[in-house]
Amino acid sequence: MQAILCRSFGLPDTLTLEDIPSPTPVPGQVLIQTKACSLNFPDTLTIQDKYQFKPPLPFSPGSESSGVVRAVGEGVTHLKPGDRVFTFGSHGGLAEERLSDANATIPLPDGMDFVTGASTLYAYGTSYHALKDRAQLQAGETLLVLGAAGGVGLAAVELGKRMGATVIAAASTEEKLAVCRQKGAAHGINYTTEDLRQRIKDITGGKGVDVVLDPVGDQWAEPAIRSMAWRGRYLVVGFAGGEIPKIPLNLALLKGCAIVGVFWGAFTQKEAALSQQNMQEIATWVMQGKLTPHIYREYSLSEAPQALTDMMERRVIGKAVVVL
């Protein structure tokens, strides 16, 4: 089978496309024929050895994929060959066949196509957990989403709107902000050309925002916290901007606000029942057309390094998907 391989840690142009033998599932695993693999920011970090999980070399990157079960390992009873599934793990998706933990593999709803399936779990799962379980976002509140045209960001824009919030999207280009408006943002701020704090002050009439969802960190975290309303909730989601910011704690005191951590991967393990309920709700909304992943571009397997480069260079809007 063909697979993109990371043989030594580095940038996407060091990845190779190779023919390798098919793997065999061990107990608790399933072998999946990959149909689509959507990229997520951690995939760009894993290949550079900059992420919290370090797969043994060589490995195929790609955490989130959909496909068809080809074989199941001993002890796997809820899946069988021929089942259409989506799956999530630290790596393996950028290959024609992938081994996955059966517990992280879920049947794809009837009628959901593979590209949509591969683009649904991670971004919506993270944003819904953040907004619903961690921030308890209420209808009528204001929600600021940073990096709002990224995978997690755009999912938060759509979900925030569905949950009845007034969504303020912050992103780096007008093109990105236009997509955020199509997905339900009431306001757009270009945080590379406009003063983020002043614009939030103007939009909220000086009150500040109730909830901030921040997948970017770096230089944007502190001005966002300084723009919070009384009893606001600032969601720490990620640091795509590069730096993990250090925040003066007096800001939390002065604003009477909460700085709230979000770790979706751990949530799916520690609170599996609640996570499955969230995923069920998300899948239903996707099937009803109430949520629609925005697909930036479909790439072939040989174009996967280009897809990772596009993500690192901030070109991707929504999801980049490799189709096999």
Residues that bind ligand NAP (CB under 6 A): 40-42, 122, 126, 147, 149-153, 171-172, 176, 215-216, 237-242, 262-265, 311, 314, 316
Among residues 108, 103, 110, 111, the alpha carbon closest in space to that of 120 is found at 108
Pairing of strands 142-145, 105-107: unpaired
Query: Distance between CA 212 and CA 260 in Å, rounded?
Result: 10
The alpha-helical segments, DSSP class H, found in 47-130 are: 114-118, 121-128
- 31 or 88, CB closer to ligand NAP? 88
Residue sitting closest to ligand NAP (CB)? 150
- 4 or 308, CB closer to ligand NAP? 308
Residues 141, 273, 109, CA angle at the centre, nearest 5°? 85
Q: What is the DSSP letter of 56?
A: P
Kindly state the smallest distance separating residue 45's Cβ from ligand NAP, in Å: 7
Query: Distance between CA 129 and CA 21 in Å, rounded?
Result: 38
Kindly state the smallest distance separating residue 266's Cβ from ligand NAP, in Å: 8
Q: What is the DSSP letter of 27?
A: T
- 55 or 241, CB closer to ligand NAP? 241
Kindly state the smallest distance separating residue 315's Cβ from ligand NAP, in Å: 9
Q: What is the DSSP letter of 109?
A: P
Task: Give the residues across from 97 on adjacent strands.
Answer: 33
C-alpha dihedral, 170 to 173 to 174 to 178, nearest 10°: -60
Tokens for 104, please give them. Answer: 């992280």
Kindly state the smallest distance separating residue 211's Cβ from ligand NAP, in Å: 15
Kindly state the smallest distance separating residue 247's Cβ from ligand NAP, in Å: 16
- 32 or 157, CB closer to ligand NAP? 157
Kindly state the helix (H) or strand (E) to which residue 235 belongs, with its residue range.
Answer: strand 228-236
- 25 or 215, CB closer to ligand NAP? 215
Kindly state the smallest distance separating residue 176's Cβ from ligand NAP, in Å: 5
Greatest alpha-carbon pair distance for the chain in Å reads 61
Give the CA distances from residue 298 to residues 47, 64, 241, in Å, rounded to whole numbers and listed in that order: 21, 15, 25
Contacts of 229 (CB under 8 A, 6+ apart): 142, 204, 207, 208, 209, 210, 255, 257
Kindly state the smallest distance separating residue 87's Cβ from ligand NAP, in Å: 16
- 21 or 242, CB closer to ligand NAP? 242
Count, residues in the chain: 324
Kindly state the smallest distance separating residue 296's Cβ from ligand NAP, in Å: 9
- 165 or 321, CB closer to ligand NAP? 321
- 136 or 192, CB closer to ligand NAP? 192
